[in-house]
């Protein structure tokens, strides 16, 4: 492990029963790094985030920290609409983290200002928008200024305005020296932050061989639809850069890079897939 490395995974594997979720994963995070994880539903992205965060044990390999008091902030993919204000929630989380009462009050005020979220004693999180919840989610991960910030699908369900606000916040966080590890469904974050991208496929981690700097001029498409699992597996084998996730109602959301767009649609329709919606996205929007 280099003197710069905050955290290192060495040939880490994770099993659930007889199922290999991650196989011989090695990764190094240095100060100020931004690492993007991409992959399909069930590929192991969230498992890897939890391993880096120290939330679950590994089956084999090594997880090494630069020092024992390294602060790692973790944001799950969703935050429940709790019957409390953001201040009440953050106070509770801060006490769990061992922050003193005096420092906690100041820190909560700073975080509300940083994320441009009004600090109110009346508005409960049950009435928060998705963007407000995601800001609160990030705030709880930053109660103690983190050396590493872990994000699980930070843009899921956000509108364009909320996505812009979140991107701006993450750029500032990164500029202050915090390392970021994020699992994302689409390539937006990689295009906006200086980063390196890894794919998780069949439990193994592979570095993206595309220079992220070239992604600024690249468009992609989001398509909602339905198709059987056999066809999903077939499409995944044909188009390795296409990612998908499943909604609660069973419908699928595909993220398709421009280079794969026409061929993917032809194959999808040919295999009996039904399209509910299709939209074009710009990485530089």
Domains in the chain: boundaries: 5-214, 219-282
pLDDT in tens, 152-207: 988 887 777 888 888 889 999 999 899 999 998 777 777 777 888 999 988 999 88
The CATH code that applies to domain 219-282 is: 3.30.70.1150
Quick check: 211 pLDDT over 50?
no
Residue 3: the pLDDT is 52
Distance CA(76)–CA(62), nearest Å, equals 23
pLDDT in tens, 111-140: 999 999 999 999 999 999 989 999 999 999
CATH numeric code, 5-214: 3.40.50.300
Strand partners, 152: 183
Give strand ranges (E) for 3-130: 5-16, 19-30, 34-38, 60-65, 72-75
Q: In whole angstroms, what is the distance from residue 135 CA to residue 141 CA?
A: 10
| Closest C-alpha among 45, 13, 38 to residue 195 | 38
Look at strands 179-183 and 34-38 and give their pairing. Answer: parallel
Complete DSSP assignment for 200-256: EETTEEEE--S-GGGGGG-EEEEEEEE--HHHHHHHHHH-TT-EEEE-TTS-EEEEE
Task: Give 284's Cβ-side CA count (13 Å radius).
Answer: 7
Q: Dump pLDDT digits (tens) for 217-227.
A: 467 899 999 99
């Amino acid at each position: 492990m280099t003197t710069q490395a905050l955290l290192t995974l060495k040939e880490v594997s994770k099993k659930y029963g007889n199922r290999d979720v991650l196989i011989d994963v090695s990764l190094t995070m240095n100060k100020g790094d931004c690492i993007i994880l991409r992959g399909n539903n069930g590929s192991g992205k969230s498992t890897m985030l939890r391993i880096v965060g120290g939330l679950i044990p590994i089956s084999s390999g090594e997880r090494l920290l630069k020092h024992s008091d390294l602060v790692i902030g973790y944001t799950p993919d969703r935050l429940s609409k709790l019957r409390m204000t953001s201040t009440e929630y953050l106070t509770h989380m801060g006490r769990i983290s061992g922050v003193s009462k005096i420092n906690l009050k100041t820190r909560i005020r700073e975080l509300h200002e940083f994320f441009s979220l009004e600090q109110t004693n009346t508005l409960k999180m049950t009435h928060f928008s998705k963007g407000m919840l995601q800001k609160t989610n990030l705030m709880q991960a930053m109660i103690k200024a983190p050396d590493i910030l872990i994000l699980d699908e930070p843009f899921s369900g956000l509108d364009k305005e909320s996505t812009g606000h979140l991107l701006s916040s993450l750029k500032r966080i990164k500029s202050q020296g915090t390392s970021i590890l994020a699992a994302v469904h689409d390539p937006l974050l990689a295009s906006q932050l200086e980063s390196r991208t890894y794919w998780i496929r069949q439990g193994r981690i592979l570095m993206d061989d595309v220079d992220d700097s070239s992604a600024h001029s690249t468009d992609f498409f989001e398509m909602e639809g339905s198709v059987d699992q056999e066809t999903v597996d077939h499409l995944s084998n044909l188009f390795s850069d296409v990612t998908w996730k499943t909604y609660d109602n069973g419908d699928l959301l595909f993220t398709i890079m421009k280079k794969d767009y026409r061929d993917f649609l032809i194959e999808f329709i040919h295999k009996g897939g039904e399209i509910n919606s299709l939209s074009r996205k710009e990485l530089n929007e």
